[in-house]
Amino acid sequence: MRKKTNGNGIVTDKDFETHIHKLKYKICVSGAAETGHCAKDAFEKAEAIGAEIAKRDLVLVTGATTGIPYWSAKGAKMAGGLVIGLSPAASRVAHVKSYRLPTDYHDMIIYTGFEYAGRNLLLTRSSDAVITICGRVGTLNEFTIAFEDQKPMGVLEGTGGTADYIRELLEKSHRGMGNVVFSTDPAELVDKVLALIHDQEVKSNSGARIF
């Protein structure tokens, strides 16, 4: 077998290709930071989504905020997963003192400095798929950005707020259902989202990742 060299020595083509194909999918969990209107078990389901993402060796991406994203981050970390947050703040000090946002249950927080609207755009575009749980207007903003970008998307129905009217919203918007799947079960929803990602990559013939 032909070999290639790099700065660390000599590797085979097979090793080189395997290394490239071990990129992990990044799954964004989008949801309400203020959760008074969410279903009673929304926290539990958000935590379960995070755990399911971690169990599949995926990377959880959040808006580095309170509420639903926070609980999903907790679920992922408790299951041994990797969590990356994108903050609206420009620094850790601003993140904690000005925005009053948490830093725990994250392995890395990127301080975008773009406030919430700019953060939302980066959050969805840096992810391979977006999962919506409960939500308010900010969650809807993240959903519509991802929808326009034709991202694979999952909606955890029965969690209240935005998540419980997205199906009707799409049906009445005359744009089709896009790449959106629905479920009331966290494990089933993550599996459906992974299937969407896989189908999209097969159609695009990118071969960028495997799972």
Instruction: With cut-offs at 50, 70 and 90, classify the pLDDT of residue 9.
Output: low
Identify the domain containing residue 198 by its residue range.
Answer: 39-204
Please report whether residue 191 resides in a domain: yes
β 9-12/3-6 pair status: antiparallel
Q: d(Cα 104, Cα 102) in Å, to the nearest integer? A: 6
Please report whether residue 176 resides in a domain: yes
Count of domains in the chain?
1
Please report whether residue 108 resides in a domain: yes
Q: d(Cα 194, Cα 27) in Å, to the nearest integer? A: 9
Please report whether residue 30 resides in a domain: no
| pTM of the predicted model as reported, rounded to 2 decimal places | 0.88
Instruction: Tell me the average pLDDT of the chain.
Output: 91
Give the pLDDT confidence of 157-176 residue by residue, as tens digits: 999 999 999 999 999 999 99
Please report whether residue 10 resides in a domain: no
Please report whether residue 76 resides in a domain: yes
What is the predicted pLDDT for the residue at 205?
Answer: 74
Q: How many CA atoms lie within 13 A of 104 on its CB side?
A: 6
What is the predicted pLDDT for the residue at 101?
Answer: 98
Are residues 109 and 92 in contact, defined by beta-carbon separation less than 8 angstroms?
Answer: yes
Domain with residue 139: its CATH number is: 3.40.50.450
Please report whether residue 129 resides in a domain: yes
What is the predicted pLDDT for the residue at 3?
Answer: 45
What is the predicted pLDDT for the residue at 210?
Answer: 44
Mean pLDDT of 93-105: 98
Please report whether residue 165 resides in a domain: yes
